[in-house]
Amino acid sequence: MLHFFKFETHGTTLGREVMAGFTTFAAMAYILVVNPQILSMAGMDPQAVIIATGLAAALGCFLMAFMANYPIALAPGMGTNTYFVFIIVLGMGLHWQAALSLTFWNGIIFLILSVSGLRKKLAEAIPAGLQVGIQAGIGFFISLLGLKAAGIVIANQNTLVTHGEITNPAILLGLAGLF
């Protein structure tokens, strides 16, 4: 197994890679909680989503390890899942099953674009500043959802949002976790 992953060639050790694996798992484990919470808003069964999320992440990581021999962890993307729920299902009123079938066809189209090389050309055609802006916007949106779920941010009719009851122990715990 050690020869398969070429640890010596890459200047690493089994112990270092095991530690990196545990660290990566700790950084990614949140998705097992957050993904079902978000997708359940679309009507999906949270327990089924936990299982699907774990299996998809494990499959992606194992494929990356054994097919590409590359230490990259893969899991469902929160930006796409958030878009799926809030724009497609809740915003456009599609049932989650129909939205999921659209996501499947989107994956097929993306695969064709990737294999043909057109995806790279399309990505390069988007200005770098716009790419960063889109990523930042998605990140802020997901952050807002998390802050709202924790009660740190609440609705306000005058300013759209305001802070929650900061002395609430649950909010203090959420803020401590954030920092």
State pLDDT tens for residues 68-78.
888 888 888 88
Whole-number Å distance between alpha carbons of 147 and 10: 40
The DSSP result for 56-87, as a single string, is HHHHHHHHIIIII---------HHHHHHIIII
- Three-state DSSP class for residue 163: strand
What's the confidence (pLDDT) of residue 110? 92
Whole-number Å distance between alpha carbons of 138 and 15: 36
Per-domain residue ranges of the chain: 1-77, 126-179
State pLDDT tens for residues 88-146.
999 999 999 999 999 899 999 999 999 999 999 999 999 999 999 998 998 898 888 88
How many alpha carbons lie under 13 Å from residue 144 in its C-beta half-sphere?
14
> What is the share, in percent, of the chain residues with pLDDT greater than 70?
99
Q: Which residue has the higher pLDDT, 7 or 89?
A: 89
What's the confidence (pLDDT) of residue 1? 62
The set of long-range contacts for 37-40, using a CB threshold of 8 Å and a minimum separation of 24, is 37/149, 38/78, 38/81, 38/82, 38/85, 38/145, 39/81, 39/84, 39/85, 39/96
State pLDDT tens for residues 50-60.
999 999 999 99
State pLDDT tens for residues 164-174.
998 999 889 88
